[in-house]
Amino acid sequence: MDGTFYGVGVGPGDPELLTLKAVRIIQECDVVALAVSDKAFQEPVYDREGASQELCGYLQRCVAYQIVLPVIPELAGKKKLFLPMPMIKEKEKLRQIHDACADAAEQIIRQGKNVAFITLGDPAIYSTCLYVHKRLAAKGIRTCLIPGIPSFCAAAARMNVGLAENREELHIIPASYGVEESLGLNGTKVLMKAGAKMPDVKQAVAARKMEIHMVENCGMPGEQIYERAEDIPDDAGYYSLMIIKE
């Protein structure tokens, strides 16, 4: 009998925001899948015996893994599937990589093992685990998404502001693809992973004289909060999230 693929959201950074269900699924799974964004890492690796020095380096840099480890110390001893998820935009190359990741997960699941792909925030929102989830589901493999607290909900709570009230609209926008047009939308705009385009985003927001709240590394070490566009550094990190109101 085949196993199950779980896409498990581990929340935005604070281990206390892990859900009880996420903890249970991770504890019970046979294999934990982890995304590796290093462009030099090209092929999936199934580590059954204990990570090599190179793979240990990936574990140390994997934010989702480091969130879970203090809550589930036995995670360190679980079998792990390292999946390449490079931050590139070549569609054909990405398709090939995602196909290979799904194939590697399928081989394990067909052996009757359950695989939990742990991912930041919620697996349904801009998550790399969806690339694997969709391919496996298309092959008839049982898949299940375990929701996690989204980063923008945690950021709003951290800054003590609401996201939307009454009939106000809420727009979730991937900031790395440009935001000029999106800033014209009515209601609250959430710009996710804004770090790479920060100078452009700051300029666009300042030109429109909009109210801004930003958290960098919400719930993680090095967390920073900004309430004015001019105070935000141009080199803000990848995990920078903005909440913008009219």
At 127-159, the pLDDT tens digits run 999 999 999 999 999 999 999 999 999 999 999
Q: Collapsing DSSP states into helix, strand and coil, what is residue 15?
A: helix
Same domain, 21 and 108: yes
Total structural domains within the chain: 2
Range scoring the smallest mean pLDDT among 55-59, 75-79, 119-123, 198-202: 198-202
Distance CA 30, CA 113 (A): 6
Using left for φ > 0, alpha for ψ between -120 and 50, and beta otherwise, residue 126 falls in: left
Among candidate residues 120, 146, 172, the one where a domain is terminated: 146
Distance between CA atoms of 165 and 151, rounded to whole angstroms? Answer: 19
pLDDT at 197: 74
Cβ–Cβ under 8 Å, residues 242 and 213: yes
User: Are 127 and 158 part of one and the same domain?
Assistant: no
Do 108 and 136 lie in one domain? The reply is yes
Residue 238 structure tokens: 């990848």
Q: What is the pTM of this model?
A: 0.92
Distance, in Å, from the CA atom of 222 to the CA atom of 228, rounded to the nearest integer, reads 19
- pLDDT at residue 178, rounded to an integer: 66
* pLDDT above 90: percentage of residues in the chain: 66
109, 134: one domain: yes
